[in-house]
Each structure stands twice: as structure tokens, then as C-alpha cells.
Structure 1
Amino acid sequence: MSNNGGHESDQARRLVKIELDEADAPRRSAEAEQERAIAIYDIIEDNLFDLPDHYGPFHLYLRLEGRHINFDIRGTDEKNLTQFFMALGPMRRVIRDYFTVCDTYYDAIRTKSP
């Protein structure tokens, strides 16, 4: 029995690394890069991730492939555990709205007073 109050099992059910394969991505502004880094940090710091029949913690690699996102899930030893694809089509409007909000936000912080 562990003396860590159950945290050991929580540690096993976590993403501890997230990487985005952005080889073909357009160059983003410094502000956008900072926001991306903060978002990944926030997910890593406070998440719960479970993969049936596998013991973590886990690494997640995300890659855009055509009109799909490839979720490549690996163990900390980098062995591939599973992959799946998610179509972007159903999320097109949400993505477009997200970019509109980001553009408005970046414009505001550059041109408006606090």
C-alpha cells in the first residue's frame, strides 16, 4: 500500500507531455506562440487521462493530416500505445470562431490602452 494518499494512481492517469507536429504550420506571432505554450502547460499541470488496458503516464503527439487530427498516444518510454483520427469538419465553425476571437484579442492588446 502506498503512503502517498492515492496520488500514485493519479500520476498514472495523466498526460505528462504534449507535442504538436507543426512541420507544415504557418509561422505564428510571438503572442500566439506564448498562448500555445501556456495552454499546453495548463493541460499538463491539471489533467486526468486514461487509456483502457494501458498504464500511464502518457505522452500525446498531435499531428494534422489532411482534414483530420492524428492523436498518437505513447508511454513515457515512447512506445506507441494507440492512435486515432478525428475529423476537423464538424469543428470548422468552432475553429473559425476561435481564430476570430484570437485576432480580435491580439489586435486589442496591440492597439488599445489597458
Structure 2
Amino acid sequence: MTEHRLEAVDLDAATLPSATAEIEHERRVAIFDLVEKNSFQPAEAITGPYRLKLSLQDNRLAFDVTGADYARTYALSLTPMKTVLKDYLLICDSYYEALRGSSATQIEAVDMGRRGLHNEGAELLTARLEGKVAIDHETARRLFTLVCALYRRG
């Protein structure tokens, strides 16, 4: 039986904006969690595991996927995802600010909104990859975190 999973994930350093300590931590955790447990099956691939490099190229999200018998780059327009990306990044900023001095109730309220937008972004990413790469919900959530890391402006 073949393993359709990611064994490595890299973010293109040339297109990755600088980040705060919190954001850098989220990137590292998302990559670690993604490599530890994921479901990633390119449509035409026969065997895994795969390596993934994410980058931004000409306002497109590039998924460069390689495996033992497989090499392909998928370029997805960011336009359909811009609203959820912007909203998610704004609420993340509010969440980090809340952590610095808000009550537990306020932090929980912001976090609920953040998780909802994160799920929405993961579902949108899954839909954008349909017919190209099959992923499960948890893989989509972690990938969405990394897409946000690339999308974030300064």
C-alpha cells in the first residue's frame, strides 16, 4: 500500500515575509504537525510520500509537489481566497493583542472567531485543490496556516 502523505514541507524564503515570534512559532508548529500527520494525495500520483514547497508567484499560490514518481506544480489564484485571508489575518492580530492583556472571556471570544475563519479558509483551500490534490480537513487547516504565513504583508 502506498503512503499518500507529505514527508517534508518548505516555505519559499524568498516570498516569506518577516514575522513576529508568535507568527514564526505558528509556522513551525504547523509544519511540524503537518509532517507528523497528514493526508495528501495528488490526483495522478501513484506512490508517496511527497515533498511540498509553498511559494507566492505573480499573485498565485504555488504548490510544488515532488515524490518518487511525481513532480508537478499547481498554481492557484489567490483572488478567491483574499477576503478570508485578510479577515483571518486581522482577527489573528486581534487575538495576539488580546493575549497581551484581555480577560479570559475576551480571549475566548476572539479565538472562537479565529477558529471559525480558519475552518472557512481550510474549506476554501480544499475546494481550490479539488481535482488536483485530495486532502483531509486537518491537513487543509495546517496548509491554510502556511498560506497565511506567505500571504501576510510585512
Q: TM-score range by the shorter chain?
A: 0.7 to 0.9
How far apart are residue 39 of structure 1 and its match?
A: 1.5
Pick the aligned partner of 1:19 from 10, 14, 30.
Answer: 10
Pick the aligned partner of 1:59 from 20, 36, 51.
Answer: 51
1:98 aligns with 2:80: no
**Identity fraction in percent:** 37
- Kindly indicate which of the two structures has a greater share of residues assigned to helix: 2
For 2:7 and 2:36, how far apart are their aligned partners in 1?
Answer: 8
Pick the aligned partner of 1:81 from 71, 75, 89.
Answer: 71
> Matched residue of 2:30: which SS?
helix
Q: Give the letter for the 1:108 counterpart.
A: A
How many matched pairs?
103
TM-score by length of 1: 0.79
Unmatched 5+ stretches in structure 2: 105-154
How far apart are residue 26 of structure 1 and its match?
A: 2.6
List 4+ stretches of structure 1 deviating above 6 A.
none
Verify the 8 A CA contact 1:72 1:80 in the aligned structure 2: no
Query: Residues 53, 112 of structure 1: CA spacing in aligned structure 2 closer, same or farther, 3 A cutoff?
Result: closer
Query: Residues 24, 62 of structure 1: CA spacing in aligned structure 2 closer, same or farther, 3 A cutoff?
Result: closer
For 1:108 and 1:18, how far apart are their aligned partners in 2?
Answer: 30
TM-score by length of 2: 0.60
Unmatched 5+ stretches in structure 1: 1-8
For 2:78 and 2:21, how far apart are their aligned partners in 1?
Answer: 25
RMSD of aligned residue pairs (Cα, Å):
1.9
